[in-house]
Amino acid sequence: MRLRIIYIFCLFVSFVINAQQGFHVFPKNDPTNPGTKTGDGSMTNPWDLQTAFHNSDNNIKPGDTLWLHEGVYHGRYVSSLSGTKNDYITVSAYRNNRVTLNGNVKSDQNTVLEVKGDYVIYKNFEITWIGDFSRDQNDSMFEVCSGIRHLSGVNCKFYDLEIHDNPGLGIGSWRHGAGTVIENCRIYNNGFIAKNGKGRGEGIYVQNKSDEIRLLKNNVIFNNYYKGIEVWSAGKRAKSEYVKNIRLEGNIVFNSGSPAGRHYDNVIIASDDRNGLNVAKDITVVNNIFYHNTRQPNGNLIGDAPSLTIGFNRKAPVQNVVVKDNLITGGYNGLRLLYANSLTFKNNLVYTGIVQLNPELEQSHKGWNFENNSFYSKRTKLFRVRTIGDKSLEGWEEAYGLGRGSVLHSLSDFKPEPVIKIVQHTQNPQIFTMALFDETSTGVRVDFSEYDLVLGQAYKILDVENPNVIIKTGQLNADMQIFIPMDGSEFKTPMHNTKAKKTMSDFGVYRIEFESLEKIEVKAQQESKSFFKRLFGWLGF
């Protein structure tokens, strides 16, 4: 009986292994193994990328993996791959290969990667423009091109993608992409200068028509020409709801608008619908960092630099928006709570000149829960209600019953924890993202003892604003702590741009990549074999 069970188990394992296949893609111009339309997806006869994405012969099935091999893939692509709810198709760089999709080619398509299918995971590759191109809409040769456009196809997941320097927005996650997850992506330097001289091109533009939650989690989004994350619809006469059921969790969004020479919202949650139907609703914003470097040498704040804006049109006030446990720093108008019928704003740390509000607050405050927040401002009358006047924290609570448990500090007292945030990547657990603060701009010591790391594990550290330069390497010591230097001034500017500025050195976002445990194990085995080989050689065997 036991042998029969073992036999059945072996058959089952064999079936699973054979059922889930890996297919291979190489660049068309690979010098030794180019991908072709006539390939079969094997390692020795790979496909080109668009052939694989079309999957016209249905060779790639639910549960399979499409491996992208080292190189630059010149083109703009449409993926029609579709998995199932229980068996996703995965599209990933092969092992640790550097894979880049370059959209700077002649094409009628205005996005580097368009996603149409359901239940697909896209991870571990880069989407960008390489070479010479214009970022000024007034130029005759200019063209708009986004990084990813996800128009249709449900329950797709985007992990650990690097999306940068596209002359358009980074990711458009549109209304029909139900159940989308965008996690641990780096989205920066996207956008262009419009004909009116203003910046255009968000990091992420997100909508949702579904009752399933759209999740944006642990992404690093910075130095885009326009806003960082836009939870928004510009439609003025909507006939349905499609800015709802969205969750922003653990994201780090900073310096939005810098390449355009100004500060735009790091995050806006709103709608411009004049019918009052398509309002932003059921949105959760928790444990994020929204950061503008706005301090001046004299201790004052720069002027127009909103970091978070809630509401835009008085005919479309937001509903059931929850903002909790966030760090929000901006300029004089760093926090704008403009139109909201129901809002929870709790346990946030806010660095701003004023909190900007509108007179509709006189009625809408009845649907607000506003408590236990910490404010840092030069003004004692922090809350500015347009046409009504300025109110202190005490006056705010007296007039509207809001602000219980909240406190006001001076700007000079702003000293967040040195390790503001540390995130271990879910798909690549050997990678961590850290947001750090040190008023001396020297550096911060980070403790990794609670993570599954080992003594002697090698690491390298990168500044996300200068991602191609390793600023430090080393091995984990017995105390499991690593000092992260923050005094670097090197900065990867957006391509063909001279206005963007690096964040001030007291704040920084860093990425640390540890050597994989599998690699350590292989090293140990090789060292063991080498030892015994030497030993037996010494013994004369």
User: Where do the domains of the chain lie, and which CATH numbers do they carry?
Assistant: 20-226 (2.160.20.10), 238-243+258-414 (no CATH), 419-516 (2.60.40)
Long-range CB contacts (within 8 A, 24+) of 377-381: 377/351, 377/352, 377/353, 377/408, 377/409, 377/410, 377/411, 378/299, 378/300, 378/301, 378/353, 378/410, 378/411, 379/353, 379/354, 380/408
Question: What pLDDT does 476 receive?
Answer: 98
Secondary structure element (H or E) that encloses residue 538, with its range: helix 517-539
pLDDT of 447 strictly over 50:
yes
Question: What pLDDT does 293 receive?
Answer: 84
pLDDT of 11 strictly over 60:
no
Each residue of 258-292: pLDDT tens digit? 999 999 999 999 999 999 999 999 999 999 999 99
Q: How far apart are alpha carbons 358 and 381 in whole angstroms?
A: 16
Secondary structure element (H or E) that encloses residue 321, with its range: strand 319-324
DSSP character for 289? E
CA distances from 369 to 149, 259, 353, 399, 400 (A): 36, 36, 22, 14, 11
Each residue of 318-344: pLDDT tens digit? 999 999 999 999 999 999 999 999 999
pLDDT of 15 strictly over 50:
no
Q: How many alpha carbons lie under 13 Å from residue 334 in its C-beta half-sphere?
A: 28
Question: What pLDDT does 10 receive?
Answer: 41
pLDDT of 523 strictly over 90:
no
pLDDT of 524 strictly over 80:
no
Q: How far apart are alpha carbons 49 and 42 in whole angstroms?
A: 13
Question: What pLDDT does 295 receive?
Answer: 74
Each residue of 407-422: pLDDT tens digit? 999 998 999 999 999 9
CA distances from 448 to 153, 445, 479, 482 (A): 39, 10, 9, 8
Question: What pLDDT does 533 receive?
Answer: 57
Residue bearing tokens 């139109």: 339
- Is residue 353 within 8 Å of 379, Cβ to Cβ? yes
Torsion-angle region of residue 5: left (phi > 0), alpha (psi -120 to 50) or beta?
A: alpha
Q: What φ, ψ does residue 516 adopt, rounded to 5°?
A: -70, 150
- Is residue 203 within 8 Å of 170, Cβ to Cβ? yes
* Averaged pLDDT, 8-20: 44
- Is residue 248 within 8 Å of 285, Cβ to Cβ? yes
Each residue of 25-55: pLDDT tens digit? 999 999 999 999 999 999 999 999 999 999 9
- Nearest Cα neighbor of 353 from 373, 369, 332 is 332
Each residue of 103-141: pLDDT tens digit? 999 999 999 999 999 999 999 999 999 999 999 999 999
pTM: 0.93
Q: How far apart are alpha carbons 373 and 391 in whole angstroms?
A: 16
Secondary structure element (H or E) that encloses residue 102, with its range: strand 99-102
pLDDT of 518 strictly over 70:
no
Residues in contact with 382: Cβ distance below 8 Å, sequence separation at least 6, in sequence order: 352, 354, 355, 375, 390, 391, 392, 393, 396, 408
- Nearest Cα neighbor of 454 from 478, 428, 420 is 478
pLDDT of 537 strictly over 70:
no
Counting residues of the chain whose pLDDT is more than 70, the rounded percentage is 91
- Nearest Cα neighbor of 35 from 62, 58, 54 is 54
pLDDT of 426 strictly over 50:
yes
Confidence band of 9 (pLDDT split at 50, 70, 90): very low
- Is residue 128 within 8 Å of 166, Cβ to Cβ? yes
pLDDT of 218 strictly over 70:
yes
Strands 458-463 and 470-475: antiparallel
For Cα atoms 118, 121, 126, give the angle at the middle one, nearest 5 degrees. 125
Residue type, 26: F
Q: How far apart are alpha carbons 83 and 434 in whole angstroms?
A: 33
* Token pair belonging to 152: 């249709």
Across all residues in the chain, what is the average pLDDT?
93
- Nearest Cα neighbor of 184 from 427, 470, 419 is 427
Neighbour-count burial of 468, counting CB atoms closer than 10 A to its CB (0-12 exposed, 13-18 middle, 19+ buried): exposed
- Nearest Cα neighbor of 369 from 398, 338, 404 is 404
Strand, helix or coil for residue 260: helix
* Averaged pLDDT, 502-517: 94
Query: Quick one: CA dihedral 484, 488, 493, 498, positive or negative?
Result: positive
* Averaged pLDDT, 446-458: 97
Residue bearing tokens 């709802």: 244
Q: How far apart are alpha carbons 223 and 190 in whole angstroms?
A: 8
- Nearest Cα neighbor of 431 from 392, 396, 408, 461 is 461
For Cα atoms 190, 464, 332, give the angle at the middle one, nearest 5 degrees. 70
* Token pair belonging to 150: 């996800």
Confidence band of 302 (pLDDT split at 50, 70, 90): confident
* Token pair belonging to 172: 């458009």
DSSP character for 468? T
Please count the other Cβ atoms lying within 10 Å of the Cβ belonging to residue 270: 28
Torsion-angle region of residue 387: left (phi > 0), alpha (psi -120 to 50) or beta?
A: left
- Is residue 512 within 8 Å of 482, Cβ to Cβ? yes
Strand, helix or coil for residue 460: strand
Secondary structure element (H or E) that encloses residue 7, with its range: helix 2-19
